[in-house]
Structure 1
Amino acid sequence: MRHDHSPLVTRTRRRFLREASALLGAAALGSAAQAQSASPYKALVCIFLFGGNDGHNTVVPMSTAAYNAYKSIRGGLALPGNDATLVQVATPGGVPYGFNSGLNAIVPLWGQGKLAVLANVGMLARPMTRQQYLDGSVKAPTQLFSHSDQIVQMQAGDPNGSGGTGWAGRAADQLQSQNGTSRFPASISMAGNALFCAGNVVQSASLIPGFDLSADGMNVWPDTAAAARRNALNSLLTMDSGMTLIQSANKVRQDAISLNSLLSGAGAATVSTPFPGTSIGQQLLQVAKIIKLRPTTGMARQVFFCSLDGFDTHSGQSWQQMDLLRQLAEAMSAFYTATVELGVADGVTTFTESDFGRTLQPSGSGSDHGWGSHHLIMGGAVRGGNVYGSFPFPALGGPDDAGSRGALLPSTSLDQYGATLAKWFGVSATQMASVFPNLGYFSTPDLGFMS
């Protein structure tokens, strides 16, 4: 089993400034508001759980037979069936489940119908049974159980790797006309460069929450000297040198300065809802601030990428995962409250992805690389309070096991998951094949969790 680690996220200042060239037209945004599109605003917000989140201990089946089977196989890694470790919820049909107590902050959204679970999702090339996987009679995704490969595939929506674009970027490509004449980025990562955001046409950008892009040395005394410096810098940046490389570099800096004024300067977007000071909390706060700027930017369709790392839990999983899920839930809860504050709760859908799930059978105090996992979907347009897809019965070597250790054979493909979100986002049936070329192999392209 491979344990390589090559995440697609980097957070260097130099990379940020290189990628700021994607912020075409941002300078104009600081001085004149774009006309708001006639389309109602919608945004998709992906939170990628790097390392492979253990779905088995995120959402636990609580019917007597299923819980007893889970507890027997998981051994010391099993979560006791009490409120201290598992918060019990139920579907409309009365089927009981337990949320990891780390998710306490978003459990109320389940009861409000704003939070749903999609069970056993993973990358698939074709629908397949356990026997078809074992005998190789149906094609499987390449390089299963490899962090780097599965990160690429889950963001690209491609079981064979990457064609250089992500599925959200391709969805934004199809809907670029919804944003009218606005040239503000339709696809933005808050966690460094992300394949998920890359389109064939739409420009993407990456931001670092809290990173001040204002030019150094511009606040000297007296004010006339500061003004002279700013004027000199502006003259350099706007001067036509006739050299493409220099002009591109100047454009990067112009856009960065303009964006800084939008995000952190006087009159910048502010959100009253308090957010946690965690990395994921600050990423989602930045998303909320950009969404608030929509009357200025003129955007009607945007996609965002955020991330939380640390889910490669080969040891010490119980407390480690609980704390990571706590960070996730507290940030998600604050973000949903902020969307209510901004009046866009019905137009913003937040969802999780991860490299893969983990094995049901433990490995000491942790678990090993798996395949399918359970994911969370949150928002005002979500048909919440329910579990979608096919929730597996805990068993080793059963029909849901790709091997003998409870690495779930996905019953729902990433294509179906993403296509359901993309349809709500506005991607039409005729456009969907450009976003998910593999979708035609699956009989249910809309899983029903969006209204």
Structure 2
Amino acid sequence: MKRRDFIKLGSAAIATSGLMNISQSAHALNIPTGDYKALVCIFLLGGNDGFNMVVPTSNFDYDEYAASRQNMAIPKADLLPVSPISHGGSSFGFHPQLSELKGLFDSGRVAVMSNVGNLIEPLSRQQFLERSKSLPDQLFSHNDQQDQWRYVDPQVQKSGLGGRVMDLAVPNNQDPLLTGIAIDGRTNWLSSQLNLDLSIGRNGFDQYGYIASDKNWTQDRRAAFRELLNNNYNDPFIDEFKGLQSRTMELVERVGAQIDNVPDFTTAKPDSRLATQLEMVAKLIAIRAELGMERQVFYVGMGGFDTHDGHITRQQELFTELSQSMSYFYDVTTELGVQNNVTSFTSSEFGRTLTSNGDGTDHAWGNHQLVMGGAVRGGDIYGQVPSLEIDGPDDANNDGRIIPTTSVEQYMASPLRWFGLTDSELNSVMPNLSAFNANAVDFML
């Protein structure tokens, strides 16, 4: 086993055993932001139904949508109207449970990226039917398409997109262990060839069990463990693991103490798992100056989007949590004064079929995504809005699996440029970007 692989194995064990979890934090107001920037990936696990998230409401387009979606269609009168800047005579509406995100869209803080999905190269319906162009492996499979999103070319890449960005963006004076952070479990999106990614619980650091420094009855155990860590074993594997344990103990105690010493946010937090995950991201951002951070990449996941049944009711619950949580996070970044320094974006392995299976939807392909932040050119829908006609020009196979018109690489190019990557670095972290027009979509200021 290579030294790097051993280090990663050790970090995985620590993360999954709860030794790398961060605890309650707070914010340090009025800390200068400098050149700080953070990217926050919000992954909607299971395949979000983006075509019920943002719906065309012009008469012809809505009639086409309603005919395709059948009993999954949202009544036109219930949709929250929005007026995208660049869509002239066309009108759209947000799902009725997305009122907070609709407000952020209206104020120019949220943008919609239309019909994004995994692609190898640009693809028309005819080319799909003829199989004359390359297709992603195992289309409509959860695990495979999640990997495709996270790795962006999983057949070649051995690190995740966020991990490759992290490898390029980490300043020499920045702690790499605090650069790429996932909340509530590790993710391939942050896997790196050069750095360790960190997994932190949404409720904070778990201390090392039975050797806590603040309890008299654990002092002897703690001293014994420290003695073990200080020994020289003349074995490279043991020495690496020993160093990893020492580093983790130091991280838990140092960073945990910094987090615990700042006050709570004044922004009211929704009672949801996603909001608590995003609260932890905000707390880590709040102590960026103390930690010496200039660039950070975060990942949070929200499950439940695989709505094969109970679609309408479940979608109302999911969108309520998503909207309230993202709005809460934006308000907290504003409270911290870093709303222009933090860009959040949704991802999901694929969309849902336009057609109904009776009580739900099935796995599909293209999907709408959301981008949020003070540096986003919000209030607009970017990319090509597809036809939602069954057996229409954008339907892959007659059941409403819409072929993406914007690749994941194109979707990510704009925020990664904002983050500081050059064009050559963009092509390095996303080698397949050259198959697409990298400048087709620019939604960042």
Per-residue deviation, 1:264: 4.0
Cα distance between partner residues in 1 of 2:215 and 2:314: 53
Cα distance between partner residues in 2 of 1:439 and 1:14: 31
Please, which of 318, 321, 327 is the counterpart of residue 327 of structure 1?
A: 321
Per-residue deviation, 1:104: 1.7
Per-residue deviation, 1:443: 1.9
Cα distance between partner residues in 2 of 1:291 and 1:350: 13
The structure-2 alpha-carbon separation of the partners of 1:409 and 1:444, relative to structure 1 and needing over 3 Å to count, comes to same
- The equivalent of 1:3 in structure 2 is none
Deviations 1:160-209 (A, max 9, x none): 546221112111222223x5243443111113121111122232121222
Once the two structures are overlaid, the 10-residue window that deviates more, 417-426 or 373-382, is: 417-426
Letter of the 2:232 partner, please give it: D
Correspondence 1:246 to 2:238: yes
Cα distance between partner residues in 2 of 1:252 and 1:302: 21
What is the TM-score normalised by the length of structure 1? Answer: 0.87
Tell whether the 8 Å contact from 2:213 to 2:222 is kept in structure 1 after alignment.
no
Tell whether the 8 Å contact from 1:20 to 1:206 is kept in structure 2 after alignment.
no
The structure-2 alpha-carbon separation of the partners of 1:364 and 1:127, relative to structure 1 and needing over 3 Å to count, comes to same
What is the TM-score normalised by the length of structure 2? Answer: 0.88
The share of aligned pairs that are identical, in percent, is 37
CA RMSD, Structure 1 to Structure 2 (Å)? 2.7
Cα distance between partner residues in 2 of 1:303 and 1:400: 34
Once the two structures are overlaid, the 10-residue window that deviates more, 161-170 or 225-234, is: 225-234
Deviations 1:353-408 (A, max 9, x none): 10101111111111111100000000010000100001112201111111111111
Tell whether the 8 Å contact from 1:20 to 1:205 is kept in structure 2 after alignment.
no
The structure-2 alpha-carbon separation of the partners of 1:394 and 1:342, relative to structure 1 and needing over 3 Å to count, comes to same
Instruction: Give the secondary-structure state (helix, strand or coil) at the position aligned to 1:288.
Output: helix
Instruction: Give the secondary-structure state (helix, strand or coil) at the position aligned to 1:247.
Output: helix
Letter of the 1:376 partner, please give it: L
Tell whether the 8 Å contact from 1:21 to 1:255 is kept in structure 2 after alignment.
no
- The equivalent of 1:186 in structure 2 is 179
- The equivalent of 1:382 in structure 2 is 376
Cα distance between partner residues in 1 of 2:206 and 2:215: 22
- The equivalent of 2:71 in structure 1 is 76
Please, which of 128, 147, 150 is the counterpart of residue 145 of structure 2?
A: 150
Tell whether the 8 Å contact from 2:350 to 2:365 is kept in structure 1 after alignment.
yes
Cα distance between partner residues in 2 of 1:358 and 1:156: 22
Letter of the 1:233 partner, please give it: F
- The equivalent of 2:190 in structure 1 is 197
Instruction: Give the secondary-structure state (helix, strand or coil) at the position aligned to 1:345.
Output: coil
Per-residue deviation, 1:262: 4.5
Cα distance between partner residues in 1 of 2:63 and 2:110: 26
- The equivalent of 1:434 in structure 2 is 428
Tell whether the 8 Å contact from 1:73 to 1:395 is kept in structure 2 after alignment.
yes
- The equivalent of 1:33 in structure 2 is none
Once the two structures are overlaid, the 10-residue window that deviates more, 43-52 or 261-270, is: 261-270
- The equivalent of 2:227 in structure 1 is 235
The structure-2 alpha-carbon separation of the partners of 1:408 and 1:222, relative to structure 1 and needing over 3 Å to count, comes to closer
The structure-2 alpha-carbon separation of the partners of 1:39 and 1:164, relative to structure 1 and needing over 3 Å to count, comes to farther
Cα distance between partner residues in 1 of 2:333 and 2:63: 39
Deviations 1:282-327 (A, max 9, x none): 1111111111121121111111110011111111101101211111
- The equivalent of 1:316 in structure 2 is 310
Instruction: Give the secondary-structure state (helix, strand or coil) at the position aligned to 1:410.
Output: coil
Once the two structures are overlaid, the 10-residue window that deviates more, 433-442 or 92-101, is: 92-101
The structure-2 alpha-carbon separation of the partners of 1:271 and 1:116, relative to structure 1 and needing over 3 Å to count, comes to farther
Deviations 1:392-451 (A, max 9, x none): 122011111111111111000001011111111111011111111011111243511111
Please, which of 86, 94, 109 is the counterpart of residue 99 of structure 1?
A: 94
Correspondence 1:302 to 2:299: no
Please, which of 197, 208, 233 is the counterpart of residue 215 of structure 1?
A: 208
The structure-2 alpha-carbon separation of the partners of 1:439 and 1:414, relative to structure 1 and needing over 3 Å to count, comes to same
Per-residue deviation, 1:50: 0.7
- The equivalent of 2:356 in structure 1 is 362
Letter of the 1:207 partner, please give it: I
The structure-2 alpha-carbon separation of the partners of 1:270 and 1:240, relative to structure 1 and needing over 3 Å to count, comes to farther
Unaligned runs of 5+ in 2: 1-9, 23-30
Tell whether the 8 Å contact from 1:220 to 1:226 is kept in structure 2 after alignment.
yes
Cα distance between partner residues in 2 of 1:358 and 1:221: 51
Cα distance between partner residues in 1 of 2:159 and 2:17: 18
Report matched runs for 1:389-400 at 5 Å. Answer: 389-400=383-394
Instruction: Give the secondary-structure state (helix, strand or coil) at the position aligned to 1:340.
Output: helix
Cα distance between partner residues in 2 of 1:257 and 1:383: 42
Tell whether the 8 Å contact from 1:370 to 1:408 is kept in structure 2 after alignment.
yes
- The equivalent of 2:6 in structure 1 is none
Per-residue deviation, 1:258: 2.8
Cα distance between partner residues in 2 of 1:320 and 1:227: 50
Instruction: Give the secondary-structure state (helix, strand or coil) at the position aligned to 2:343.
Output: strand
The structure-2 alpha-carbon separation of the partners of 1:410 and 1:293, relative to structure 1 and needing over 3 Å to count, comes to same
Tell whether the 8 Å contact from 1:51 to 1:311 is kept in structure 2 after alignment.
yes
Cα distance between partner residues in 2 of 1:382 and 1:262: 34
Tell whether the 8 Å contact from 1:420 to 1:446 is kept in structure 2 after alignment.
no
The structure-2 alpha-carbon separation of the partners of 1:37 and 1:169, relative to structure 1 and needing over 3 Å to count, comes to farther
Letter of the 1:424 partner, please give it: W
Deviations 1:24-75 (A, max 9, x none): xx9xxxxxxxxx9996011110011111111111111111111111112211
Cα distance between partner residues in 1 of 2:259 and 2:168: 33
Tell whether the 8 Å contact from 1:359 to 1:367 is kept in structure 2 after alignment.
yes
Instruction: Give the secondary-structure state (helix, strand or coil) at the position aligned to 1:285.
Output: helix
The structure-2 alpha-carbon separation of the partners of 1:347 and 1:222, relative to structure 1 and needing over 3 Å to count, comes to closer
Instruction: Give the secondary-structure state (helix, strand or coil) at the position aligned to 2:248.
Output: helix
The structure-2 alpha-carbon separation of the partners of 1:419 and 1:267, relative to structure 1 and needing over 3 Å to count, comes to closer
- The equivalent of 2:133 in structure 1 is 138
Correspondence 1:412 to 2:413: no
Per-residue deviation, 1:348: 0.5
Letter of the 1:237 partner, please give it: L
Cα distance between partner residues in 2 of 1:394 and 1:218: 59
Per-residue deviation, 1:211: 4.8
Unaligned runs of 5+ in 1: 1-12, 27-35
